[in-house]
Amino acid sequence: IMIDVDHFRLFNEEEGHDAGDTVLRKVAEAIKSMLRPYDLAARYGGEEFTVVLPGAGEVETMTIAERIRQKIAQIEFVATSGRTRHVTASLGCATMPKIAQEAVPLLKAADEALYQAKRSGRNRCGSYRARRLPGFRRAPGRSLHRRCFPRSGRHHRRYDC
């Protein structure tokens, strides 16, 4: 799972870098609280995080991603001015070995799903299905398309991106 805090640069510019660091710590705590004991979360750079879910398939990955998204959306930051700011994030998911056989193509797929989620309105989870990137393989009998899920998190109501 690739996670990017929505509009973080704007937040950082308006509230300052110390406030931005506080928000990133709160986001990291929210992510960690939603993971299983053997999962791995790391800051990937800037306002991006990566989560590795060993053994998780597409449905389980999307379920955990949606829980993370909802937990992050509960974060409220009160600025020194007294203004309350809400934090949201966009998430992109890809699974191994269904989508990719190696880490680099898997990260590229999750990153593409992340940016599709951002282009679809932010504060949502997107999933990538194998398509055009090196290292991808087609799963037998599976259609090849990206998917974005509505904010409600009801995965049975999918919207093609």
- Flag whether pLDDT at 144 surpasses 60: no
Tokens of 44: 């990937």
- Answer for the pair 20, 69: CB distance below 8 angstroms, yes or no: no
Residue 68 DSSP class: H
Task: Give dist(CA 85, CA 156) in Å, integer.
Answer: 31
150: pLDDT confidence band, cut at 50, 70 and 90?
very low
Distance CA 52, CA 84 (A): 32
Confidence (pTM): 0.79
Structural tokens at position 47: 């306002």
Judged against a pLDDT cut of 60, whether residue 161 lies above it is answered with no
Catalytic residue (choose from 47, 58, 66, 112)? 47
- Does residue 97 have a cis peptide bond before it, meaning omega lies within 30 degrees of 0? yes
**Distance of alpha carbon 47 from alpha carbon 3, whole angstroms:** 8
Question: Per-residue pLDDT for 97 more than 90?
Answer: no
Distance CA 157, CA 44 (A): 30
Residue 105: pLDDT band (50, 70, 90) is very high
Q: Is 139's pLDDT higher than 50?
A: no
Burial of 47 (0-12, 13-18, 19+ CB in 10 A): buried
pLDDT over 90 (residue 48): yes
Catalytic: 47? Answer: yes
